[in-house]
Structure 1
Amino acid sequence: MVHQSPERRFEKLNTEIFSDSQKASLAVANRIKDLILAKQKANEKFVLGLATGSTPTKVYEELVRMHKEENLSFQNVVTFNLDEYFPMQPDSLQSYVRFMNEYLFDHIDIDRNNVHIPDGTLAMEDVSKFCQDYEEKIKGFGGLDMQILGIGRTGHIGFNEPGSMANSRTRLITLDQITRTDAASDFFGEEFVPRRAITMGVGTIMAAKEIIMMAWGEGKARIIKETVEGSISDSVPATYLQNHDNAKVILDDAAAADLTRISTPWLVGICEWNDILRRKAVVWLCSKLQKPVLKLTDEEYNENGMSDLIAEQGPAYEINIKIFNELQHTITGWPGGKPNADDSHRPERKAPHPKRVLIFSPHPDDDVISMGGTLIRLVDQGHEVHVAYQTSGNIAVFDDDVVRFVDYSIDFNKQFGLDENGKVETLYQNIRDFIINKSPGEVDSPEIQKIKGLIRRSEAKSGIRYCGIPDERGHFMDMPFYETGTVRKKPLGEEDIQITIDLIKKIKPHQIYAAGDLSDPHGTHRVCLSAIMQAVERLKNEDWMKDCWVWLYRGAWQEWDVNQIEMAVPMSPEQLLKKRRAIFKHQSQKDRPLFPGNDIREFWQRAEQRNRETAQKYDQLGLAEYEAIEGFVRWHF
């Protein structure tokens, strides 16, 4: 147990929060650098435990930069990786050997004899001895000076799944079903994810002199709260860190969102009440008591940590009316603004009308999944709506669909006599041969990547046609960062940003809509939003850009909380059904998405549930009852 200041009294681990993962990663990299230099000065080895996955990649990028630009040497560094899938060849796409080489070891001056990673190529009978030797090697170097960790959705550290004991050591384990589901994206299907892994044990990790556990993004918020504020339990192995004398949790704002001092700061101390915090607190109180806003009493505020709000801004009656009106004013059936109406209490301006609207869709179906109802309403109300598909989405198409479409092409060409030289049949045979011999996770051939991209493109066109948008207002950006053929993408580059700038300049929109749900398993939404934000920042001084508002939508992977929503667009049962039919136009994603993330339901099911739940929350707050609502938050650039 750590001794914290009053506002952190619920936290049982030393926790530091940064505004974003880049700043957090820089802090971790600087700590590693300081320890390396201190050990160099003492002429000693620095023994570092390493993790894989998306969480530590920015740390590794910064360490590489320090090596190249600041001459930071790794000659005195000894590394031990946490884990590796079993079985696993070191050159496989999913291999942690390959991961570490690509992100770190190939770019620094570390002695390869000092690099240790569990061996996924061992015969089963050799694994136990290897694990014992791994432990002995760590002890032989004097133990781990530092261990860096990520955290899984189940609370696992390394591959120590729920049920792992505090004294467990390096061993072969069976992966939890949730862990395998979460890894499915990397392996192009859950059926290809190994069922076992070699991992350092909890006891191995806890023996490190210093531990830093990192977590980024909204998707980690729930398990972080459980880890930092919950009781120690083998069902959440990360909670064992509470027993370590020198463990720290490093978070970005999103991963910290559920911690008590962030989510409900009025429960830990005196607050500086602003409009945002007041609304958040009142909505939270309504949810807790299951009461509408206008029925809250002074006593209920006082009994739930909000007495200072009543003292400053009360009585409850006045606060309730104020919040009720704020929430009421977010609701509009006119997302592009209502012409010839008083817009002083509406979320959008009435003029100009019609507006030019640019909807950015990271993948070819995010537009209709996340804001299909609003998109259709914008079209029906006469606005000039453009949809920009930022990536091809080509990795999310099953191989069977490729065969089916090329097979159709053969029959089509034969029917109309368009392929006398048999080029399509030759292509078809080459594709069949490639797919038959394709190993799990192998990068598709360029031809297959193109075909998968064309499948997604044709579905996107079908979707916007159904919504009433002409073909020429569908823009396919094919941003270069995405086109690797693998789940792992290139960093966002200048070309990606320039493509975005050029499109915005071409359309000169009055409204931009962009995806603000950043928990998609590939990180594509996050990269796409970064490109838009950087483009908008560069264009913000243009005269026409000063009249452009940017709205962020969610829905594919998560939803805005009611207290965050600044524009709520309601849908009737008929409008919700029309949105569903627009989603159905994306047939390659129907029945079972190739990359479902941690939710096995189809995207239309997820979207409808979230839209209905948002409407229900508005209803429970005492506002009008709707079938469903899509929510938006405005980004003020």
Structure 2
Amino acid sequence: MEQAISFERVPTRIYSDSEKASKAVAHEIASLIRERAKEKKPAVLGLATGSSPKKVYQELIRMHKEEGLSFKNVITFNLDEYYPMQPDAIQSYVRFMKEQLFDHVDIPLNNINIPDGTLPIEKIPEFCKDYDEKIEKLGGLDFQLLGIGRNGHIGFNEPGSLINSKTRLMTLDISTKIDAAIDFGGLEKVHKKAITMGVEKIMHAKRVILLAWGEHKAESVARAVEGPVTSDIPASYLQQHNNATFILDETAAAALTRIKTPWVVDSVIWDRKMIKKAVTHLALQLDKPVLKLTNKDYNEHGLSELLSLYGQAYDINIEVFNYLQHTITGWPGGKPNADDTHRPERAFPAKKKVIIFSPHPDDDIISMGGTFQRLHDQGHDVHVAYQTSGNIAVADDEALRFAEFVVDFNEKFESSNPKANKIYKEAVKFLKSKRDSEIDIPSVREIKGLIRKGEAKNTCRFVGIKKENTHFLEMPFYETGTVRKKPIGEEDIQIIMNLIEEIQPHQIYAAGDLADPHGTHKVCLDAILEAIQRLKHREYMKNCWVWLYKGAWAEWDIDQIEMAVPMSPDQVFQKRMGIFKHQSQKDGVVFQGDDSREFWQRAEERNRGTANIYNKLGLAEYEAMEAFVRWRF
């Protein structure tokens, strides 16, 4: 999907998902490598790290192994490295590149160039000068791969970086440090500085591709693509490059004008979905209830085409008001013996079998705790499936406290299980001497997983879920001991399929929150959707509806919501008490992101915000609402 859009000041391609986009980019890189090989010249590549290019590297590795793509003529220059940083540390970009690409292809070691995080600080200026000169002697970069930070940085060229900036040591912006905290295990552990290639060498590259995936990148992408060229958004400099392209998935493109308000760009098909999107946007823009919008409002704000189809604003307003009204229900499992013509869920069967998939052991209660409780209270057979252990989100001191308690307990009561006691003693010893660069040993990961499992069980008891209806799936992709996970595998998908086959549900709830900065929600959702696709021919699946909720990071836009479950003040408080069962995640949670509030505070504000939007649009006033979108397979 590529268009010459007047609002977009740099070419932009939007793909349905990051996998398709990554393959397209990998194939462009492969073509360049082969072309240069035919010319008996090196292909000089500028490479990026982070989550964005990982699938590009996976496809390049596949092409090397299956299609004979050789990297013998490739010379690489990486954008950046933390400082100081040992090359074997978990967070090192040297280690990242080896694990993600270099160890799997035939690139000569002498052709790999990465900023050196081990240098004495006084030697860095000379190193940076040599780095730039080495690129210049090769005739510049043939191709530069980039990601984008949420503050608009490219490489570690933070806001304020000039277009002619050279390779240098940079002090990291606080927003960059917050994003990096997930890799370092806490904000206080993130390095303050990094060596980065300057903007100048990026701008001199013959070809530049910037990758962006996920909702959390949407605002920075829109500012870089549609906003003015400014040092406040270093990625905006690419507007002045003669061969740069932004490659986005649909979620990262969400804030672009052609996606957010497509009717101001071109003619659109005015189906129900588009009408709802346009009218709710207009009402919120003008701070008016839907039923108070006038013909003048439509004409003055780019919706004259829609008005001409209906004739009067009143008719459109009534239609959209009814759309919104019909999404609201206090019966998320369907209301028994009721006319369900305009309800989001079916009345039959009155008692449904339900699976709530929770990527981490607390997403169920944080994201849909009120609906979770209501489904149980209304008599449905509710199962909860915790997809991962969530162990990396447990702080070391919490695990140490737990392990020491077990050791002390066993010694006091002379436990007859010496093997178990040995495991806990081993964990205590490791945690007391653990270095920042170390991955947790298996016993520590097991303890952290047990902590989160216990908290999830406590939440289910609080809601009233039977013990046998609580499932801990422990999907293998997650168990790496680090934030960086393995790709989804066949075993992960089979685990999901087996549970669905066993329960044969009428409803499935899954996390559709792709703003999750850790990426776990996306992998968990992919596994669920793949499992459903494989099982959709089963007879019971014809009666199964899938509802997607969002987590603590974002909420569905009002025009997307297909089911909104209202909550009273008492129900909001009850949900808060359920979230409190997750004590390890309550105070000083490891991966807080850029939001210092605890998860219960985020959830309540988000739920109240949804209710407030409905109220602003002229619907009934509720204390809070949880929102869902149906996925049709």
Q: Give the whole-Å Cα distance in 1 for the aligned partners of 2:400 and 2:135.
A: 50
Question: Which amino acid in 2 is paired with 1:613?
Answer: G
Q: Kindly indicate whether the alpha-carbon contact (under 8 Å) linking 1:149 and 1:157 is maintained by their aligned counterparts in 2.
A: yes
**CA shift for structure 1 position 313:** 2.5
User: Partner residue of 2:72?
Assistant: 75
Q: Give the whole-Å Cα distance in 2 for the aligned partners of 1:364 and 1:208.
A: 45
Given candidates 612, 615, 624, the residue that maps to 2:608 is: 612
Are residue 582 (structure 1) and residue 572 (structure 2) matched?
no
Q: Kindly indicate whether the alpha-carbon contact (under 8 Å) linking 2:407 and 2:425 is maintained by their aligned counterparts in 1.
A: no
Going from structure 1 to structure 2, the CA distance change for 1:426 and 1:271 (only over 3 Å counts) comes to: closer
Describe the superposition over 1:249-279 as per-residue Cα deviations: whole angstroms up to 9, x where unpaired.
Answer: 1111110111001110111122221111110
Q: Kindly indicate whether the alpha-carbon contact (under 8 Å) linking 1:188 and 1:441 is maintained by their aligned counterparts in 2.
A: no
Going from structure 1 to structure 2, the CA distance change for 1:535 and 1:110 (only over 3 Å counts) comes to: same
User: Partner residue of 1:153?
Assistant: 150
Given candidates 377, 382, 399, the residue that maps to 2:379 is: 382
Describe the superposition over 1:310-337 as per-residue Cα deviations: whole angstroms up to 9, x where unpaired.
Answer: 1112311111000000100000000000
User: Partner residue of 1:297?
Assistant: 294
Are residue 253 (structure 1) and residue 250 (structure 2) matched?
yes
Are residue 278 (structure 1) and residue 275 (structure 2) matched?
yes
Q: Give the whole-Å Cα distance in 1 for the aligned partners of 2:315 and 2:4.
A: 28
Question: Which amino acid in 2 is paired with 1:203?
Answer: E
SS of 1:80 mapped into structure 2: strand
Are residue 321 (structure 1) and residue 315 (structure 2) matched?
no
Are residue 395 (structure 1) and residue 392 (structure 2) matched?
yes
Q: Give the whole-Å Cα distance in 2 for the aligned partners of 1:257 and 1:399.
A: 37
Given candidates 205, 209, 212, the residue that maps to 1:208 is: 205
Are residue 547 (structure 1) and residue 543 (structure 2) matched?
yes
User: Partner residue of 1:456?
Assistant: 452
**CA shift for structure 1 position 418:** 4.7
Given candidates 569, 594, 605, the residue that maps to 1:573 is: 569
Q: Give the whole-Å Cα distance in 1 for the aligned partners of 2:565 and 2:530.
A: 27
User: Partner residue of 1:268?
Assistant: 265
Q: Kindly indicate whether the alpha-carbon contact (under 8 Å) linking 1:7 and 1:261 is maintained by their aligned counterparts in 2.
A: no
**CA shift for structure 1 position 426:** 4.6
1:468-487 to structure 2, matched below 5 A, reads: 468-487=464-483
User: Partner residue of 2:112?
Assistant: 115
Q: Kindly indicate whether the alpha-carbon contact (under 8 Å) linking 1:61 and 1:104 is maintained by their aligned counterparts in 2.
A: yes
Going from structure 1 to structure 2, the CA distance change for 1:512 and 1:86 (only over 3 Å counts) comes to: same
Percent identity at matched positions?
62
Q: Give the whole-Å Cα distance in 1 for the aligned partners of 2:572 and 2:549.
A: 16
User: Partner residue of 1:226?
Assistant: 223
SS of 2:553 mapped into structure 1: coil
Q: Give the whole-Å Cα distance in 2 for the aligned partners of 1:475 and 1:354.
A: 20
Q: Give the whole-Å Cα distance in 2 for the aligned partners of 1:426 and 1:513.
A: 40
Going from structure 1 to structure 2, the CA distance change for 1:69 and 1:6 (only over 3 Å counts) comes to: closer
Q: Give the whole-Å Cα distance in 2 for the aligned partners of 1:569 and 1:469.
A: 20
User: Partner residue of 1:503?
Assistant: 499
Question: Which amino acid in 2 is paired with 1:545?
Answer: M
SS of 1:8 mapped into structure 2: coil
Going from structure 1 to structure 2, the CA distance change for 1:319 and 1:7 (only over 3 Å counts) comes to: farther
Matched positions, count: 633
Describe the superposition over 1:85-136 as per-residue Cα deviations: whole angstroms up to 9, x where unpaired.
Answer: 0111111111111111111111111111111000001011111100000011
SS of 1:301 mapped into structure 2: helix
Question: Which amino acid in 1 is paired with 2:456?
Answer: A
User: Partner residue of 2:591?
Assistant: 595
**CA shift for structure 1 position 431:** 2.3
Q: Give the whole-Å Cα distance in 2 for the aligned partners of 1:265 and 1:421.
A: 66
User: Partner residue of 2:163?
Assistant: 166
**CA shift for structure 1 position 411:** 4.2
Q: Give the whole-Å Cα distance in 1 for the aligned partners of 2:273 and 2:421.
A: 62
User: Partner residue of 1:492?
Assistant: 488
Question: Which amino acid in 2 is paired with 1:336?
Answer: G
**CA shift for structure 1 position 242:** 1.0
**CA shift for structure 1 position 36:** 1.3
Question: Which amino acid in 2 is paired with 1:263?
Answer: K
Q: Kindly indicate whether the alpha-carbon contact (under 8 Å) linking 1:406 and 1:424 is maintained by their aligned counterparts in 2.
A: no
Q: Kindly indicate whether the alpha-carbon contact (under 8 Å) linking 2:2 and 2:14 is maintained by their aligned counterparts in 1.
A: no
Going from structure 1 to structure 2, the CA distance change for 1:377 and 1:5 (only over 3 Å counts) comes to: closer
SS of 1:239 mapped into structure 2: helix
Going from structure 1 to structure 2, the CA distance change for 1:74 and 1:425 (only over 3 Å counts) comes to: closer
User: Partner residue of 1:537?
Assistant: 533
Are residue 18 (structure 1) and residue 15 (structure 2) matched?
yes
Q: Give the whole-Å Cα distance in 2 for the aligned partners of 1:414 and 1:83.
A: 50
Q: Give the whole-Å Cα distance in 1 for the aligned partners of 2:425 and 2:70.
A: 52
Are residue 37 (structure 1) and residue 17 (structure 2) matched?
no
Are residue 46 (structure 1) and residue 40 (structure 2) matched?
no
RMSD: 1.4
Describe the superposition over 1:22-57 as per-residue Cα deviations: whole angstroms up to 9, x where unpaired.
Answer: 111111111111111221121111111000000000
Describe the superposition over 1:58-79 as per-residue Cα deviations: whole angstroms up to 9, x where unpaired.
Answer: 1111111111111111111111
Going from structure 1 to structure 2, the CA distance change for 1:500 and 1:427 (only over 3 Å counts) comes to: closer
Describe the superposition over 1:434-478 as per-residue Cα deviations: whole angstroms up to 9, x where unpaired.
Answer: 112211141111111111100000000000110111111110000
**CA shift for structure 1 position 413:** 3.7
Describe the superposition over 1:504-535 as per-residue Cα deviations: whole angstroms up to 9, x where unpaired.
Answer: 11111110000000121221100000110011
Q: Kindly indicate whether the alpha-carbon contact (under 8 Å) linking 1:14 and 1:248 is maintained by their aligned counterparts in 2.
A: yes
Are residue 368 (structure 1) and residue 365 (structure 2) matched?
yes
**CA shift for structure 1 position 7:** 6.6
Question: Which amino acid in 2 is paired with 1:256?
Answer: A
Are residue 447 (structure 1) and residue 438 (structure 2) matched?
no
SS of 2:156 mapped into structure 1: coil
Structure 1 runs of 4+ with >4 Å offset: 4-7, 420-428
Question: Which amino acid in 1 is paired with 2:499?
Answer: L
Q: Give the whole-Å Cα distance in 2 for the aligned partners of 1:505 and 1:345.
A: 30
Q: Give the whole-Å Cα distance in 1 for the aligned partners of 2:3 and 2:582.
A: 51
Q: Kindly indicate whether the alpha-carbon contact (under 8 Å) linking 2:511 and 2:548 is maintained by their aligned counterparts in 1.
A: yes
Q: Kindly indicate whether the alpha-carbon contact (under 8 Å) linking 1:363 and 1:389 is maintained by their aligned counterparts in 2.
A: yes
Describe the superposition over 1:327-353 as per-residue Cα deviations: whole angstroms up to 9, x where unpaired.
Answer: 000000000000011110000000101
1:390-429 to structure 2, matched below 5 A, reads: 390-413=387-410, 417-419=413-415, 426-429=422-425
Structure 1 runs not aligned, ≥5 long: none
SS of 1:330 mapped into structure 2: coil
Q: Give the whole-Å Cα distance in 2 for the aligned partners of 1:264 and 1:395.
A: 39
**CA shift for structure 1 position 555:** 2.9
Q: Give the whole-Å Cα distance in 2 for the aligned partners of 1:549 and 1:224.
A: 34
Q: Kindly indicate whether the alpha-carbon contact (under 8 Å) linking 1:186 and 1:441 is maintained by their aligned counterparts in 2.
A: no
SS of 2:326 mapped into structure 1: helix
Q: Kindly indicate whether the alpha-carbon contact (under 8 Å) linking 1:403 and 1:428 is maintained by their aligned counterparts in 2.
A: no
**CA shift for structure 1 position 372:** 0.2
Are residue 632 (structure 1) and residue 628 (structure 2) matched?
yes
**TM-score under structure 1 normalisation?**
0.98
Q: Kindly indicate whether the alpha-carbon contact (under 8 Å) linking 1:410 and 1:424 is maintained by their aligned counterparts in 2.
A: no
Q: Give the whole-Å Cα distance in 2 for the aligned partners of 1:51 and 1:43.
A: 25
**CA shift for structure 1 position 423:** 5.9
Describe the superposition over 1:521-553 as per-residue Cα deviations: whole angstroms up to 9, x where unpaired.
Answer: 221100000110011111111111110100000
**CA shift for structure 1 position 429:** 3.8
Q: Give the whole-Å Cα distance in 2 for the aligned partners of 1:581 and 1:421.
A: 35
